[in-house]
Amino acid sequence: MKSLLVFMLIFSSLMSCTTREVSPSRDSRIAIDTIYQQKVSQMQAGLDSMCVAYMDSVYRYAVDSMLKERENDIQQLIK
């Protein structure tokens, strides 16, 4: 029984391999594009709110790190 199950698993795995190139049809491209646009629209509101929430802290951190780098450069030039 176990060997039959293993044989069926291997057989089905080998049968799923194909050398034929698969290219999307016009209808499938339209469906793919529609699904993509829906998912992007759903995610956009969440991503926008994350940008608003984190922009101030990330912006301040970026400015502070650039200022520290410039101060270090100036200190090295003075030495």
Q: What is the pLDDT of residue 18?
A: 66
> What pLDDT, in 10s, does the model give residues 22-52?
788 899 899 999 999 999 888 887 888 777 7
Q: Are 24 and 32 in contact (CB under 8 A)?
A: yes
Q: What is the pLDDT of residues 2-21, one digit of tens each?
A: 788 888 888 777 776 667 77
Please report, for residues 1, 30, 60, the alpha-carbon distance to residue 25 in angstroms, rounded to integers and kept in the order given. 42, 9, 49
Report which listed range, 35-39, 50-54, 58-62, 63-67, is most confident. 35-39
**Model pLDDT, residue 38:** 92
pLDDT of residue 16: 67
